[in-house]
Amino acid sequence: LISIIQDVVDMPVSKIHMPARPFDGPAIVLDTRQAEDELKWRPQVPIRDGIAKTWEWIKSISPSSRSQD
């Protein structure tokens, strides 16, 4: 996921490993199969495209990110 974000934003992304907070789940799994099986839901946008669209939106509303183009 980090490599996709770095590629889309065309800049390094810092990773900071922090201790788990009391309300954090034991793991984060980016897998939609359970939602597909139980809810009959499938993602309509590939992850890379969704990140790119989100980045474009962020740039459109944020003067600081527009200056990093």
pLDDT tens, position by position, 1-18? 899 999 999 999 999 999
In this prediction the pTM is: 0.69
Contact 11, 68 (CB under 8 A): yes
- Residue 44 DSSP code: S
pLDDT tens, position by position, 23-50? 988 887 788 999 999 999 999 999 999 9
> 58 is written with which tokens?
């962020």
**Distance from C-alpha of 47 to C-alpha of 24, rounded to nearest angstrom:** 23
Model confidence band, residue 64 (pLDDT cutoffs 50, 70, 90): confident
The closest alpha carbon to 8, from 46, 42, 43, 44, belongs to 46
